[in-house]
Structure 1
Amino acid sequence: MKLAIAAALAMSLAGCGDPPKLRVDEAVLVLSPVDSNPSALYFTVHGGTEDVKLLRVVSPSIIRSEIHESGKDPKTGAMTMAPLNNVPVAARSKVEFKRGGKHVMVWGVNLRARRLGEMETEYIFSNGDRILVDAVVQEADGTIPDERKKVT
């Protein structure tokens, strides 16, 4: 009897642990080589204990942002890009925003973010969560922005 109780207790504790938490990481803003063109923000969303939707990404360092998805036209093979109103994030899943797929287009990155090589980003979800993440700011070739190189 004691062995059965100990086994049941061990099994119930094995399921214990911290539940997954909705989070965002690996945020990188890749600057457009042409200042008047939009830049692209890439990151990964890790789902928590419930299904949610990513509704918006904002930052005090930018003028405007839009969630988009790239793909290929099945008929022509041409690259396409379409805006998304939201992005579903299933519980305990991972959604990657990366080149050639989902990404956030960003207009008007300010000089401060370019000089610091980082900017604060805020991810707004359908459950009311607002997650702040510092995104790395880099040139299209992966180097630090020119403005940062000039700062002494």
Structure 2
Amino acid sequence: SALVGKWLAQDMVWTFTALDEQSGRYTLNTQLQEQPPGEFSASFGVINSRQFLEIMPTRPEAIHTKTFLGGHFVTLRSFWRVTLAGDDLTLTPLSGKWLEEMLKQSKISIAQAKTDNGLCFLTASTEELRQFLSEYGGDSGAFPVEGAEKGLQFVRAAKP
């Protein structure tokens, strides 16, 4: 698959390993400067001819769901627009600013919640999220191509 391998960006390395290429499932390992390493389940898919990546953190063994501490963690997914051209990869997350503004103006209606510190996250069903990406996946406000939220730009370091 085109995603498999090691990708370099400023102060970070992301490595995709195929779990099931037919269904677009991967393991993503992230290394960011001055942060602990992360492991994610990643799903790649196409909606309306646009490529997207959904990532969800893998719970560390030490924080098992059956423990008191582990029972208090909530796993959140994030959605990224994928632009892949040869050895160049751009991953653009859904813009939090755009989402907040659209919700505030009642221009979109989708199940969501907010944390105490104001982080908005979507709680809609998989089908509703697919419909949302189908409708807004090409919106340059939702997935900005320039400015502070333009996404992470990677260069392929190595194929396995």
- TM normalised by structure 1 equals 0.32
Which of the two has higher C-alpha Rg? Answer: 1
Q: Which has the bigger relative contact order, CA under 8 A and spacing at least 6?
A: 1
- TM normalised by structure 2 equals 0.31
